[in-house]
Structure 1
Amino acid sequence: MRGMLAGTFQSLTIRNFRLFAAGQLVSVAGTWMMVVAQDWLVLSLTGDSGTALGVVTALQFAPLLLLTLYAGGLADRHDKRRLLMAVNLLAGVLALALAALVLTGQPRLWHIYLFALGLGTVNAVEVPTRMSFVSELVGAELLPNASALSAAYFNSARVVGPAIAGLLVARLGPGWVMLLNAASYLATVGALRLMRPGELLRGGPGRAGAGVAHGIRHLLSRRDLLLPMVLVAVTGLFGFNFQVTLPLLAKTVFHADADAFGLLTACFGAGSLVAAFATTLRRGRPAFGLVVVAAAVFGGLECLAGLAPGYAAAAVLLTLTGFGSIYFAQAANHHIQLGTDPAYRGRVMALYTLVFQGTTPFGALLVGRLSEDLGARSGLVVGGACCLLAAAVVLVPHRRQRGSPNQPRSAPVSSSPSGAHAT
């Protein structure tokens, strides 16, 4: 048991990663508090409009679609630690501005639209930079463990943040929750400042000629990477729209208040947290078959959550759906990242971010409109069904590939510190 616990938390023996995880835990909890407050405010301003909620989500994720590949190049060319400090400070300023608008006057829907677009622009730089920065903190050998622990603190915050936010929104209003979110960004900035730069496992400077096009060509030449990337794209587009589906399910189906909505979101986060800890012991690259099965199980659970007959059943099924969502996301992430040539890893992970989160604006608009026309349950049921179908479809070329005598071999995973940094 002691050995298992030591293996689970092995990355936390590295001081820089401990600081990073602590700062992120506080900041991400603030972000999830903000999500609850923002979504509740949007529904209150618009008479429970699923379309308006979809627009907010689309604006928040659209910059990822447009800017992530460029941001991946920025992360390869510049100091990731300093870049993360800058974007977190900017996000804090944006959150403070919105909190001030809500606390001092009548908030308007366009205020929230502008904030969502601004925060999305910041996140387009922050997400690929943060993902590639983890390898500088721990190196390639501990990358699966650190990635799983990152998912664990993210989902710990997803449990704590919404539960607290539900209580605060009901008693103090959304403005104070937004103010706390603005302050939470200081935790990440402080943690980054306290790190020892000399202990970071950095590679050499990025090559000017190694641009985004080279990363795309590398991905297209590797079917063992391309098929899971297609599965990630479809699942991200249709299945991961919980920022739209959960508030609509809580308010329009179960007629819940802010406390109960926060609890549903916390249940989803609790399942995600268990899945994150379940993957911390992974040391090698998961098989593609595991990625496909995880996608199918997640899709099935999402369908069942959409059909839940009551609030209690929905809470249980959303807990299981949360487990399935993170187990799939971690399996896909590790399969792609650990199968990529280290020289292309930064750009491939930028593409991963693009297809996983960059498709969210389209999915949010589709699911928001579908939920408004056919009811909140339809967003979950249709999203889960699309994930099931995608899992079945990608198995066909995968089986052909396995049966081919000229099947390409996966790229080796470098265990050296220099291999952890994408050039």
Structure 2
Amino acid sequence: MRWWSVANLVSNAGTWMQLTVQNLLVLQITGSAAATGLSLSVQAAPGLLVGVAGGAAVDRWPRKRTAAVSQALLGAVAFTTALLIAFDRLGLGVLMALAAVTGLIATVDGPACALLGNDLVRAEDVPSAIGVGSLVGNAGRLAGAGLAGLAVGVFGTAAAYAANGVSFLFVAAVIPFLRPVAADDPRPAPAATPDDTMTVREGLAYFARRPRLVALAGITGISAVLGRNYGLTLAVLVTGPLAGGAGDFGTVSTVLALGGIIGAVIGARLRKPSVRLVGALAAAGALLQAVAGLSPSIAVLLALVLPMAVVESVSDTAGTTVLQTAPPADMRGRVLGVWGSVRTVWGLAGPPALGLLMELAGARGALVAGGLAIAAAIGAGHLLRRRRAPEPVVTPVLAPHPALSTAA
């Protein structure tokens, strides 16, 4: 697990190096902000269209081999992009094609790597493993953003893609040496039944019939659409009503990342998180968001952003734990595939919805209204669930009739 965490730290740093320069690269090639948004949509589209199929593949194929091959393929795409940039052969069409290929491979790579990490620890330690993964992700994001500027400034844009390719190959090289906990279990693994076809339809049906998973999707979805896009809402708030600059927003972003790291550490101590806990934390984070929208100064905003990020990070860690542990082992890849498709919808719908809300209500109004709407929706869902829950049936214990007692 330590080696896997180191590999993921390297991989996350490489990924954020590439993401940091990707938008600038598209702008350099096309000079169009619309093309930049289109490139992101093209990369996300496979997750929407074939995410469930990717999860089914993870359930069907050996997990270590699947993760190693997908990481190697992602590395090949990154190296190809770096070479095309270096030789000035990267046009918009080729860039879009490479983005689509990356998104397609990610539909398999995402659930495969997530579940492989869980396989390396005992069942009771899975929440801690997920928390460590979240911690590594936030640390890699901070490191990658800083290294991107250094690499591009010294070696050029192609260096960020090349570094990301190296990070993928490093992960692929580590995977063969990992030993899942099941490998140490002397008991034989249960044989697959002939009826276990591992189809996409089974994954969709399983997800739809589990109220906990549907509720988790609803909580995370409304939070993603009306909140969480702080790169958009807080940027407008800082540079607009609070009259700050890029440096001030950079400070806010750093505090958000720090809160995410603290939240991941706290979340790693959860043993049996529930959907109810996820909802309560998401509602608390939404209320903090609403209060943050009323901040009179950047100093007050920073004081609110830290606990807001901590609460939401713990909520995310708890939700991920439920998602990856509640389904049976042979369904987890497909469940994560369904989740990936649903999450893609949120990712595509969130920024336009918040942009429209900010056009109508301003940055403060969007943060306040969005936060209150999230908290109200989660509260209404909790009350509705309580009303629908069946009342417990109490069977009275009757005392024996005196005559029967005497006869006995």
TM range (shorter): 0.7 to 0.9
1:30 paired residue number: 14
Which aligned pairs between 1:279-298 and structure 2 lie closer than 5 A? 279-286=267-274, 288=276, 290-298=277-285
**Pair 1:291–1:196, CA change in 2 (3 A):** closer
Looking at structure 2, the residues matched to 226 and 128 of structure 1 have their Cα atoms a distance apart, in angstroms, of 19
**Pair 1:364–1:334, CA change in 2 (3 A):** same
Which aligned pairs between 1:21-420 and structure 2 lie closer than 5 A? 21-43=5-27, 49=33, 51-105=34-88, 108-170=91-153, 172-196=155-179, 199=183, 204-205=191-192, 208-241=196-229, 256=246, 265-286=253-274, 288=276, 290-302=277-289, 319-342=306-329, 344-364=331-351, 366=353, 370=356, 374=359, 378=363, 382=366, 385-386=369-370, 388-404=372-388, 406=390
**Pair 1:314–1:405, CA change in 2 (3 A):** closer
Deviation, structure 1 residue 95: 1.2
Q: Which runs of 5+ in 2 are unaligned?
A: 393-408
Deviation, structure 1 residue 96: 1.4
Deviation, structure 1 residue 56: 2.8
Contact 2:52 2:338 in 1 (8 A): yes
Letter in structure 1 aligned against 2:37: G
Contact 2:52 2:337 in 1 (8 A): yes
**Pair 1:199–1:243, CA change in 2 (3 A):** farther
Looking at structure 1, the residues matched to 218 and 349 of structure 2 have their Cα atoms a distance apart, in angstroms, of 16
Contact 2:45 2:103 in 1 (8 A): yes
Contact 2:270 2:318 in 1 (8 A): no
**Pair 1:317–1:120, CA change in 2 (3 A):** farther
Letter in structure 1 aligned against 2:52: L
Corresponding residue SS for 1:359: helix
Looking at structure 2, the residues matched to 401 and 319 of structure 1 have their Cα atoms a distance apart, in angstroms, of 31
Looking at structure 1, the residues matched to 293 and 77 of structure 2 have their Cα atoms a distance apart, in angstroms, of 34
Normalised to the residue count of structure 1, the TM-score between the two structures is 0.76
Deviation, structure 1 residue 43: 5.0
1:421 paired residue number: none
Contact 1:227 1:398 in 2 (8 A): no
Letter in structure 1 aligned against 2:161: M
Deviation, structure 1 residue 151: 0.9
Looking at structure 1, the residues matched to 238 and 287 of structure 2 have their Cα atoms a distance apart, in angstroms, of 20
Looking at structure 2, the residues matched to 264 and 182 of structure 1 have their Cα atoms a distance apart, in angstroms, of 30
**Pair 1:386–1:264, CA change in 2 (3 A):** closer
**Pair 1:350–1:311, CA change in 2 (3 A):** same
Contact 2:118 2:126 in 1 (8 A): yes
Contact 2:278 2:319 in 1 (8 A): yes
Normalised to the residue count of structure 2, the TM-score between the two structures is 0.78
Q: Percent identity?
A: 25
Q: Which runs of 5+ in 1 are unaligned?
A: 1-16, 409-423
Looking at structure 2, the residues matched to 155 and 179 of structure 1 have their Cα atoms a distance apart, in angstroms, of 21
Q: Which segment is superposed worse, 142-151 or 198-207?
A: 198-207
**Pair 1:74–1:344, CA change in 2 (3 A):** closer
Deviation, structure 1 residue 287: 5.0
**Pair 1:93–1:218, CA change in 2 (3 A):** closer
**Pair 1:203–1:212, CA change in 2 (3 A):** farther
Corresponding residue SS for 2:123: coil
Compare relative contact order (CA 8 Å, sep 6+) and give the higher one, 1 or 2: 1
Deviation, structure 1 residue 159: 1.7
| 1:53-82 alpha-carbon deviations (Å, 9 max, x no partner) | 432322222211111111111111111111
Larger Rg: 2
Deviation, structure 1 residue 204: 4.5
Deviation, structure 1 residue 177: 1.9
Q: What root-mean-square deviation, in Å, do the aligned CA atoms of Structure 1 and Structure 2 show? A: 3.8
Looking at structure 2, the residues matched to 359 and 327 of structure 1 have their Cα atoms a distance apart, in angstroms, of 20
1:5 paired residue number: none
**Pair 1:190–1:341, CA change in 2 (3 A):** closer
**Pair 1:280–1:301, CA change in 2 (3 A):** same
